[in-house]
C-alpha cells in the first residue's frame, strides 16, 4: 500500500466522521428548536419533583399529629419558591448546554468536512 493510498483513505475517513458530526449537530439543533418552541417551559434533563406538591423523591411519611415540628405556611412558601428558582436555573443551564452542543457539533463537522473532503477528492483523482 502506497503513501498516496493511505492518505486518500485517511481523508475519506475523516470526511465520513465529519459527516457524522454534522448529522448529530443537525439532530441536536432540531431537538433544541422543538424543545424551545413546543413546550411552555424548557424540559429538564431528568424528572424533577413538583414544587407545588413537595418533594416526591421519597415516599410520603405516615401522617402524624401536628406539633411544633411541622413547617409553617410561610416556610413552605419559601421552600416552594426556592424549588422553583432552582428548577428555572436548571432549565436555563440545560438550554444553554443543548444550544452549545448543537452549534459545536455542526460547526466542527462542517469545518472538518470542508477541509478534508476536497483533499480526498484531489488525492483520489491524481
CA atoms within 13 A on the CB side of 108: 12
Axis crossing angle, helix 73-125 with helix 3-38, rounded to the nearest 10 = 150
Domain residue ranges of the chain, discontinuous segments joined by +: 3-45+71-125
Q: pLDDT tens, 87-104?
A: 899 999 999 999 999 999
* Report for 19-23, 82-86, 90-94: range of highest mean pLDDT: 19-23
Q: pLDDT tens, 35-73?
A: 999 999 898 887 776 776 655 444 445 555 555 556 677
Amino acid at each position: 500500500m502506497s503513501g498516496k493510498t493511505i492518505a486518500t483513505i485517511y481523508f475519506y475517513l475523516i470526511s465520513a466522521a465529519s459527516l457524522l458530526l454534522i448529522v448529530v449537530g443537525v439532530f441536536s439543533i432540531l431537538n433544541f428548536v422543538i424543545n424551545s418552541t413546543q413546550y411552555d417551559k424548557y424540559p429538564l434533563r431528568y424528572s424533577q419533583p413538583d414544587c407545588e406538591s413537595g418533594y416526591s423523591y421519597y415516599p410520603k411519611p405516615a401522617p402524624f399529629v401536628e406539633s411544633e415540628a411541622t413547617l409553617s405556611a410561610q416556610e413552605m412558601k419559601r421552600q416552594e419558591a426556592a424549588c422553583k428558582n432552582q428548577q428555572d436555573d436548571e432549565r436555563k443551564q440545560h438550554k444553554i448546554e443543548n444550544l452549545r452542543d448543537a452549534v459545536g457539533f455542526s460547526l466542527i463537522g462542517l469545518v472538518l468536512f470542508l477541509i478534508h473532503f476536497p483533499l480526498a477528492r484531489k488525492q483520489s483523482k491524481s
